[in-house]
Amino acid sequence: MAVYTEISDADLAAFLADYDIGEVVACKGIAEGVENSNFLLSTTVGTYILTIYEKRVRSEDLPYFLNLMEHLAARGVRCPTPIRGTDGETLHELNGKPAAIVSFLQGLCVKRVQPHHCRSLGGALARMHLAGQDFPMYRPNDLSVDGWPALLDAVGERADEVAPGLYAELRDELAELQSAWPRGLPEGVIHADLFPDNVFFRGDEVSGFIDFYFACNDLFAYDLAVCLNAWCFEPDDAFNATKARALLSAYGEVRPFQPGEVEALPVLARGSALRFLLTRLYDWLNHPPDAYVAPKDPREYIHKLRFHRGVRGPGAYGVT
């Protein structure tokens, strides 16, 4: 929830001169996405989202993200579709920063997740995985197991400021995950950040995914592990196996699980919990005091990590 860059009307007019989307009638900074500045742009032709990429997104990754959205949209996955400028390019520059215009997606985020939302999410996620199978670009997941040692080092012993003994716990966890991390399972393009903020619904059905700026190539089942953490815990930290079963079974109906995928879920869910715990810890310990964005409480993910560590198998998630 942040707007970092202010756009002058003159800069906006110059930027839009490279597009064929009519005259601008309104442009409002919106509280969406913590990594970039987003504006809802109304023109005489339609409504769009204008995104200015701030420094946390690496500009060399932008073609992957934009091409992926275009690829998925062309295959019927509802997601923001980059608009090409008159030069044929989707990536331009505004205020000296990379910027793009994408289509406006209708829908609302769900604040109180119900099992039927998880069911719709599971099917939509599987369809996205299938639609991405012939996407030709490759981007590794910087925030998976190979990236965690550096993240843990960056957090360091200050982790104990959040919970006593946490640093030692995370070192042990990391060592276990490094040796237990599954290899050879089906992989492809994953969203990797599919929190409820990034999924739109109309009525009970998913109407689209947004915010592909962590998308990468990794295990499909890891995307499900992210969703288990982001969608299947209650506000009091209790795990809701009904939601997990709804998510996983709906997924499996569209993209049947391959051998080993379901069995890997507990380890992947631990890994996903560690990934969000580490980045939240880092942001919590390092956010400037005058930051516009309140960092998210990392402790939520300590509970989630410990839950998955205590799980005996995928039966805890309602599947076998």
Question: Which of 293-317 are b and which e, b meaning 16 or more Cβ less than 10 Å from the residue's Cβ?
Answer: eebeebbbbbebbebbbebeebebb
Q: Which is nearer to a second copy, 22 or 315 (CB)?
A: 22
108, 150, 168, 175: which one binds a second copy (CB under 8 A) = 108
96, 136, 235, 289: which one binds a second copy (CB under 8 A) = 289
Do 100 and 51 meet the contact criterion of CB atoms below 8 Å apart?
yes
Q: Which is nearer to a second copy, 29 or 147 (CB)?
A: 29
Amino acid in the structure at residue 5: T
**Residue 114 backbone dihedrals phi, psi, to 5 degrees:** -115, 160
137 Rama class: left (phi>0) / alpha (psi -120 to 50) / beta: beta
Q: Which is nearer to a second copy, 258 or 292 (CB)?
A: 292
Q: Which is nearer to a second copy, 31 or 45 (CB)?
A: 31
| Element housing 29 (H / E) | strand 24-30
Q: How far is the CB of 289 from a second copy (least distance, A)?
A: 5
Q: For residue 42, state whether it binds a second copy (rule: CB under 8 A).
A: yes
15, 16, 32, 35: which one binds a second copy (CB under 8 A) = 32
Q: For residue 35, state whether it binds a second copy (rule: CB under 8 A).
A: no
Residues 67-86 that bind a second copy (CB under 8 A): none
Q: Which is nearer to a second copy, 105 or 285 (CB)?
A: 105
Q: How far is the CB of 257 from a second copy (least distance, A)?
A: 30
DSSP secondary structure letters along 165-197: THHHHHHHHHHHHHHH---SS-EEEE-S---GG
Question: How many Å apart are CA 285 and CA 199, to the nearest integer?
Answer: 28
Q: How far is the CB of 195 from a second copy (least distance, A)?
A: 14
Q: For residue 185, state whether it binds a second copy (rule: CB under 8 A).
A: no
Do 200 and 117 meet the contact criterion of CB atoms below 8 Å apart?
no
Q: Which residues contact 174 (CB under 8 A, 6 or more apart)?
A: 148, 149, 152, 274
Distance from CA of residue 254 to its chain's centroid? 21
Q: Which is nearer to a second copy, 58 or 202 (CB)?
A: 202
* DSSP-derived secondary structure letter, 275: H
Q: Which is nearer to a second copy, 13 or 238 (CB)?
A: 13
Pick from 232, 223, 228: which is nearest to 126 by CA? 223
Q: Which is nearer to a second copy, 13 or 175 (CB)?
A: 13
Most distant pair of Cα atoms in the chain: their distance:
60
- R_g (Cα) of the chain, nearest Å: 20
* DSSP-derived secondary structure letter, 140: B
Residues 8-27 that bind a second copy (CB under 8 A): 8-10, 12, 24-27
DSSP secondary structure letters along 229-273: HHHSB-TTS-B-HHHHHHHHHHHHHHSPPPTTHHHHHHHHHHHHH
Q: For residue 254, state whether it binds a second copy (rule: CB under 8 A).
A: no
Q: How far is the CB of 277 from a second copy (least distance, A)?
A: 22
Q: How far is the CB of 67 from a second copy (least distance, A)?
A: 25
Q: Which is nearer to a second copy, 198 or 272 (CB)?
A: 198
Q: For residue 31, state whether it binds a second copy (rule: CB under 8 A).
A: yes
Q: For residue 107, state whether it binds a second copy (rule: CB under 8 A).
A: yes
Q: For residue 201, state whether it binds a second copy (rule: CB under 8 A).
A: yes
92, 97, 104, 181: which one binds a second copy (CB under 8 A) = 104
Contact footprint for a second copy (CB under 8 A): 1, 3, 6-10, 12, 24-32, 40, 42, 47, 104-112, 200-202, 289-290, 292, 294
